[in-house]
Amino acid sequence: MKKTATLLITIFAYCFSMAQVAPDKYWVKFTDKNNSPYSISNPEAFLSQQAIDRRTAQGIAILENDLPVNSTYIQGVASTGATVLNVSKWYNSVTVYTTSQSVIDAINLLPYVLSVGKGNILEKPEKSEKPFFENESYGENPEENLIMGPASGQSYDYGMAFNQINMLNGIAMHDLGFDGSGMTIAILDAGFLNTNIIDAFDSLWNNGQILGTRDFVSPLAPDIFGSHSHGTSVLSTIGANLPGQMVGTAPKADFWLLRSEDGATEYLIEELNWVSAAEFADSVGADVINSSLGYTTFDDPAQNHTYQDMDGNTTPITNGADLASSKGMIVVNSAGNSGGSSWQYIGAPADGDSVFSIGAVTASGNYASFSSTGPTFDGRIKPNVVAQGSGSTVISAYSGSVTTGSGTSFSSPITAGMVACLWQAHQNKRNTQIMEAIEQSASLAGSPNYLLGYGIPDYFDAHTALSAPVTYNFTLEVKVFLEGPFNGVNMNPDLNSILPLNQPYNVAPFNYSGIESVVSIPTTEIVDWVLVELRDASSAGLATNATVLATKAAFVKADGSVVDLDGISNIQFNVTVSNNLYLVIRHRNHLGIISSNGLVVITDHSAYDFTTGSLKVFGGANGFKELVTGIWGMVASDGNADGTINDLDKLSEWQIDAGLQGYLFSDYNMDGQVSNQDKDENWLPNVGYSSQVP
């Protein structure tokens, strides 16, 4: 994935030469995000928990481009008389509507506006040419004996949709229970005509699987269900559920229906609408974006792309799609329907290096002549993979009945649904790992070409490959605070001079037999010994003692960093993992904690910061505590280390040792002295807390 700075430089160099992106519509770029009420340290204010969890699970940092656009800047543009249409935080910009040159001049004078250009006022064409949609067709006769075939798996009766999922070995995934449940797919399209009243989508509405809608074409007068039919047919290939007639590839997934494409015209603003919609999909926690859209030429020829622009770095929508991928989503996009035409090649954003671009084959698995081809201008393989896009089974937006359609608009969502099913089975995997597994499962994995890419995937084979145990040899960077010695900023190392030279966890209930020892405590910043465990399980709640892969005793420093015996290095592990890797931290008189998310190992390194929020630990605030605003730590006063803070920690631990000095389990604030402070300021407020480690 490309660096954000490179994307932004490229995109604005491309587009501010034509800042009018549609008749009377302009793209306004701001200089900065200064004086924002939002901060990277408090992402809950602008990202859903699902969006944060997606980043955490893949080791993706919150960046400045995640911060919302400064609302003062937006209001300043609106005060000139311009109508603000959409906002883009990734591009730190807005699109606006105005017919007044004086308004444009006023916007240009605002001190925080980087650029907004003038342009000729264009007349709306009588008939807009939309190459992507124009080359699609509906209602063809299916290939004999292929579409109908045997119609049922163990879980679903697919009817006419049998072939398009069976071709991908997707029925086996459904029969294992992987049918999209718990996954969220955002569909970016031109409209979803009658989706709210068509029987094929009843189960989506009845089960609350339609999470919401948003119109980025007409944000001031939304028209999701009355605007265009294209998105309805697209949605059907994933989410339709008419047993015996048609079942989609991910019938149990959740959906956001987002209108970014203006079906009546073709202007560059639609690419900007797309980026705003992708940002929204990210913020609400979508896992997969399906975009059955592509852009090559426009109603204003000055905005036309060239094949040279299909280099993965040039067009607004492609750079936006790569940014969406950098946030941990999988962007599944139609390759295009230009095969055999003068254009021939994939369009934008299918040229993106992080975009999963989907070509089309016939029901018998042969190249569909309309499917756009590779390579990208810089020579990369495209499409990535293919699925049935000729004679695909779809739902008609007008009749609500089952029909057929041809176009990569349908091979893309058929794929998006299967991507969601595969990722459902392997939620510990990064988006790139899912895409790579799909490519490697495909029919041409050993010799990809520019017609079919890596070929027709086998999603069960991809599942098998992702299920294989993986050996990691990696360093682990951990940060954790202990409540007892915490002083509001970091921890007091009051015990440093009396810390034992051998690890202290060889007693009950820890019973750890490790031989970690030092000749001397390596630095005065060492606060205490901790136990670090790695557990292998499908979820944190199932990561019991029986799943422990490795345990090490280590030091925790005043700044919360957990380090090896030299007092400097991150600890290192070599483990073979079958499921997810969960991290447990245990301490002699603080409640143990386990990570809520599996560790992500990237280039032999993994990091986990427990201090940033309750949701970083399984069980949240039931066994974890906010020490000061925004900083969380392990709960003190579990003197007998039984996982619960109760009267026993006072009577059998603190009361016996009261008045003593030394390295004692009953010294809850860890200052070297067992006193009333340990009882009144630590134990008493914490009675009732219990460890959530399984």
Full set of structural domains in the chain with CATH: 4-33+69-115 (3.30.70), 131-467 (3.40.50.200), 470-686 (no CATH)
Q: Token pair for residue 156?
A: 């679903």
Q: Give the pLDDT of residue 131.
A: 64
B/e letters for 144-181, b = 16+ CB within 10 Å, e = fewer, are: eebbeeebebebbebbbbbbbbbbbbbbbbbeeebbbe
Q: Give the pLDDT of residue 116.
A: 85
Q: Give the pLDDT of residue 428.
A: 83
If you count DSSP H runs as helices and E runs as strands, how many of each does the chain have, helices first? 18, 27
Residue 239 CA from chain centroid, whole number = 20
Kindly give the parts of the chain with pLDDT less than 70. Answer: 1-19, 117-134, 140-152
**CA 436, CA 607: separation in Å to the nearest integer?**
23
Q: Give the pLDDT of residue 152.
A: 64
Tokens 């810089």 found at: 378
Q: Give the pLDDT of residue 512.
A: 98
Q: Give the pLDDT of residue 136.
A: 81
Q: Give the pLDDT of residue 22.
A: 76
pTM: 0.84
Q: Tell me which DSSP letter residue 521 carries.
A: -
Q: Give the pLDDT of residue 293.
A: 97
Which is nearest to 158 in space by CA: 281, 249, 228, 94?
A: 249
**CA 644, CA 395: separation in Å to the nearest integer?**
56
**3 state SS of 591:** strand
B/e letters for 580-603, b = 16+ CB within 10 Å, e = fewer, are: bbbbbbbbbbbbbbbbbbbbbbee
Tokens 């990369």 found at: 380
Q: Give the pLDDT of residue 182.
A: 97
**CA 19, CA 668: separation in Å to the nearest integer?**
63
Q: Give the pLDDT of residue 372.
A: 97
CA dihedral 587→592→594→599, nearest 10 degrees, is: 0
